[in-house]
A and B are shown apart, each in its own frame.
Chain A
Amino acid sequence: MTTPHQATAQGTQPWQGGAPAAYTSPIPVRDATFGDALRSEWTKIRTLRSTMWTLGVMLLVVVGIGLLVASVMSGHEASGFPALAAGFFGVLLGSLSVITLGVLVISSEYSTGMIRTTLTACPSRSRVLAAKAVVFFSLAFVLTTVACLLVAAVDSSLISGHGVLAPSGSQWARATVGIGLYVALLGLLALAVGAMLRHSAGAITAMLGVVLLPLLLALFMAGESLQTLRTDLIEYSVPNALAAIYGIPMLDSGPHGWTPLWILAGVTVVALAGAFTVINKRDV
């Protein structure tokens, strides 16, 4: 298996008598691709317990609370309430789990030092970040949508009659795909923030602030002069955006329908652009 080192040490020194032929691997070398990075990131995300935990909690909360609300509402009069909106409460809590996973996908690499190994194995940092974003976004979107679909199906069968509005096709789309996209985008925003802050606790705290703080601040704004700010904070807060997608916005004004989704998409694109700039520029 090995050459005794004395033999080499006392033999002719190779660099003095012409360099030996450099080693070439018998296995042919091909260029690494984005597909390779996607496969690798899929392996990474599915082999961590934090993925199982956060996504498991998300499913449990969205489906569990969704069913609970549906069963409570099934016996009551709820005129003017869109049937599918019963999923809102579960999704609001479940989105926090997705945010946590979004941050951890990137920040755990920094906290463990794995990022150095990753970026040594793939020096194209944009490719790594893009693969992470695609894999995480797809996973979060699919699971959230499936959970929402389940809840929506139960809601529409349980909360019908009693003066409740029958869900339209567009309401169905928004309550499933729309909510799935919104929650997954929220997670993607968290991933971008995690890539910029590189610190799990910091990034998760920042994201919780983004989600919860505007509404909390608005609660304590009483004065006349702050009325506009208060309205803006409520209208553009994440909980209100989710409610608007479900068709139950807190105020009559403000973004409604699909609009909150486009707003979040814009914010996420900007944050991702920042994340790509930072990861390419900074030392690891």
Chain B
Amino acid sequence: MIEARGLTKRYGTKTAVYNLSFQVRPGLVTGFLGPNGSGKSTTMRMILGLDTPTSGEVTVSGRPYRQLPNAPRHVGALLDAKAVHGGRSARQHLLCLAQLSGIPARRVDEVLGVVGLKEVAGKRSKGFSLGMGQRLGIAAALLGDPQVLLFDEPVNGLDPEGIHWVRNLMRRLASEGRTVFVSSHLMSEMALTADHLIVIGRGQLLADMGVKDFIARNSTGYALVRTPDEPGVREKLTAALHEAGGGVQPEQDGALRVTGLELPRISDLAHQADVRLWELSPHHASLEEAYMRLTQGAVDYRSTHDPRAGFQQPGPQGQTLPGQLPPPATGYGQPQPYAPQGAPHPYAPQGGQLPPQAPAYGQAPAYPPGPVPQGPPPQGGFGAPPAPHHAAPAAPAAPPQAPAAPATDQPDAEDR
């Protein structure tokens, strides 16, 4: 059991972790997710007593780590595959760690066998690949047969076989009643391994829930409904959909995100309410997408467009960079981190050179992707294949390849 209460860490003026409180329970694999630089490793280091929290505290089995009488027999940790002295062989490295906590030397050969490094046990770890380094780190973590295990990005650099092995190892360790805390920045990996998720972004807690809950809450299907931009129409449709028991959330670009109603039913309701529809399309948020949306405002390191201007002659064209998008305007301090409003509408044309409707309808029929590969299919979707056909009548008869955007579409495009 790991327990953090109000954990905060500042480095100078930069706050790496802010007011983090969570519990990691035994018998489960708990995934610790967050983008690069979100404070995962800092939190791990604080759990292990390597960094002292600025405020708050974290305990392992009720005690601060540095007060555990024989820490490696209680907690095993893989922090960094490179945190070894490359001049020592794998066996010597593990031997000095074993001796530090009074673990007999024969245990070293046991764990070397477990992680599959027996053949290279006598080789200096300087020559190890990242994957072999990860295995050596995992061996060190297993050395003391501990009841709490921490792994920081354990699958980095592993081949598919190694990833599979780590996944199974985590699950087995948890099934033996141990506490397993694994950090990763890959949602897809955690969806396969973890029972419980703790998601942080910019050092703050974004989610702390079971994987099933996370899937149920974040990856349900929904319908995107777009109405003509006439006064009162959207409100009229919203009221009608509410009355029928659907959930309606306005999107930033003016569309409505409808949950809990099948597409044909939405179309019928709109018809009854005498509302024309410009778009009615099925959507399906994958777990990865849900995670991206959750952490979007908290991503520190974003790639920018590479104009390669350094190689070009200075000229007037150098200023306009095709395809460069403005960074999403989502602020970090948005009050409701689960709210999806920060996400740009995936079909919304960005840039305006394209006919506004064409890409949306061009893609819609190709949609039904089946259930998400990870985990059970979410509830409340409209998996029925004919759904796109219902979307068709509601759409204006604009062929996808029509390049000339009708004048009536123009305000809509600007509205986005």
Contact = CB atoms under 8 A, between A and B. Distances in A.
Interface in B82-97: 82-89, 92, 95-97
B92 A114 contact: no
B27 A20 contact: yes
B101 A122 contact: yes
A119 interface: yes
Contact of B147 (A5, A19, A24): A24
B87 A121 contact: no
A172 B75 CA distance: 52
Name the residue in A47, A48, A49 with the highest tally of chain B Cβ atoms < 10 Å from its Cβ.
A47
Contacts of A120: 48-50, 71-72, 75, 77, 79
Nearest to A45: B96
A41 B179 CA distance: 30
A36 B99 CA distance: 6
B71 A48 contact: no
B268 interface: no
A23 B303 CA distance: 44
Nearest to A37: B100
A132 B390 CA distance: 75
A174 to B, nearest CB: 36
B375 A36 contact: no
Given A5-B171, A44-B96, A124-B66, A36 B101 contact: yes
B324 interface: no
Given A2-B171, A123-B71, A283-B52, A19 B79 contact: no
A9 B97 contact: no
A116 B71 contact: no
Interface stretch (A10-18, A79-87, A210-218): A10-18
B282 to A, nearest CB: 26
A115 B80 CA distance: 11
A9 B260 CA distance: 26
Interface in B321-343: none
A40 B99 contact: yes
B348 interface: no
B193 A48 contact: no
A239 B171 CA distance: 62
A36 B73 contact: no
B145 A25 contact: yes
Interface residues of B, number: 65
A27 B145 contact: yes
A127 to B, nearest CB: 9
Nearest to B174: A8
A258 B83 CA distance: 43
A157 B84 CA distance: 49
A116 B88 contact: no
Given A20-B26, A29-B74, A114-B85, A47 B195 contact: no
A23 B77 contact: no
Interface in A32-68: 32-33, 36-37, 39-41, 43-44, 47-50
B92 A123 contact: no
B369 to A, nearest CB: 21
A284 B87 CA distance: 21
Interface string B58-74: 00000001111111111
B100 A36 contact: yes
A2 B168 contact: yes
B86 A112 contact: yes
A116 B92 contact: no
B1 interface: yes
Interface in A202-227: none
Interface residues on A, range: 35 or more
Contacts, number: 167
Contacts of B86: 112
B178 interface: yes
Contacts of B45: 116, 283-284
A117 B77 CA distance: 8
Contacts of A37: 100
Contact of B71 (A19, A39, A115, A121): A121
Contacts of A48: 85, 87-88
B65 to A, nearest CB: 6
A3 to B, nearest CB: 6
B84 A9 contact: no
Contacts of B140: 117, 121
Given A113-B83, A283-B45, A8 B69 contact: no
A113 B171 contact: no
A163 B212 CA distance: 94
Contacts of A116: 45, 50, 79-80, 83
Interface string B130-157: 0000000000100011110000000000
B416 interface: no
A9 B168 CA distance: 12
B167 A5 contact: yes
A1 B168 contact: yes
B195 A112 contact: no
B178 A23 contact: yes
A109 interface: yes
Nearest to B192: A5
A138 interface: no
27 contacts: A1-B172, A2-B172, A5-B167, A15-B25, A20-B26, A22-B27, A22-B147, A22-B179, A23-B26, A25-B146, A32-B71, A36-B99, A40-B96, A43-B92, A43-B96, A44-B88, A112-B84, A113-B83, A114-B85, A116-B79, A117-B84, A117-B140, A119-B49, A120-B50, A120-B71, A121-B100, A123-B65
Given A50-B87, A112-B82, 12 more contacts: A22-B177, A25-B146, A31-B70, A43-B95, A47-B89, A49-B87, A112-B86, A117-B140, A121-B72, A121-B100, A283-B51, A284-B50
Interface of A: 1-3, 5, 8-10, 13-15, 19-27, 29-33, 36-37, 39-41, 43-44, 47-50, 108-109, 112-124, 283-284
Leading 5 A-B pairs by shortest Cβ distance: A2-B168, A113-B83, A23-B177, A40-B99, A40-B100
Interface of B: 1, 25-28, 45, 48-52, 65-75, 77, 79-80, 82-89, 92, 95-97, 99-102, 140, 144-147, 167-169, 171-172, 175-179, 192-193, 195-196, 210-212, 375-376
